[in-house]
Amino acid sequence: MLKASTASTVPDYETLAGTRESPDLEPLPGPDGNQIFLTRAFDFDGDTWRVRFSGWADQQRRQRLLDGVAEGQFELDGPWTAVPGAQAAIFHFTRRLFTVHNRALAQLLTHANAGTEKWAPGIQQNVSRTGALFVPTLAQVSAEYDLLAIDTGPHGERDLYLGDRSHEMNTPARRPVRRNPFPVRKVD
């Protein structure tokens, strides 16, 4: 991956409008210690937002593990000086949905009392009140304090970077001080 330059456009509601997706798989440590590969898609419309994410067990995307959706309202909270060119943002959650794609994860979530019904592969459940795996309940985390930066990608694309997610971001003091190395790219 080529390193991007310093952010050159401070995001606002107009520049954020539309859909942005991961151009590449994002490797992450999984809950069991193995690596998983994530894709993300963000939709912005005025002050509403939604993120859709999928987790895969392999880089070839043969074994899909999970899908999730989170949505709500967001607000831009002024420049975030810890990251040059970034805008502070607060993402408020109104709903969280989760889907697993194998029986082992379905059994794990059923035994953890996540969701409102017995889990089955491919069946989406609302986990806003119960949480699921690494997805907290709305009562636990009703908002995340993040950052947004728009930068020029390796081929001139206008990439959106959010904050580093190596820790919870549920208070203003926990807002990231560096951006996630993986951007999402505008597709519409």
Query: For the chain (length 188 residues), average pLDDT per consecutive 10?
Result: 53 94 90 87 98 95 95 96 94 96 94 92 94 86 95 88 90 94 92
Calculate the alpha carbon distances from 27 to 40, 54, 180 in Å: 12, 12, 12
What's the confidence (pLDDT) of residue 41? 98
What's the confidence (pLDDT) of residue 157? 87
What's the confidence (pLDDT) of residue 59? 94
What's the confidence (pLDDT) of residue 15? 92
User: Residue 41 in contact with residue 181, Cβ under 8 Å?
Assistant: no
Closest CA to 64 of 96, 91, 37, 35: 37
What's the confidence (pLDDT) of residue 7? 47
What's the confidence (pLDDT) of residue 31? 65
Helix (H) or strand (E) holding 16: helix 13-16
User: Residue 182 in contact with residue 22, Cβ under 8 Å?
Assistant: yes
What's the confidence (pLDDT) of residue 71? 97
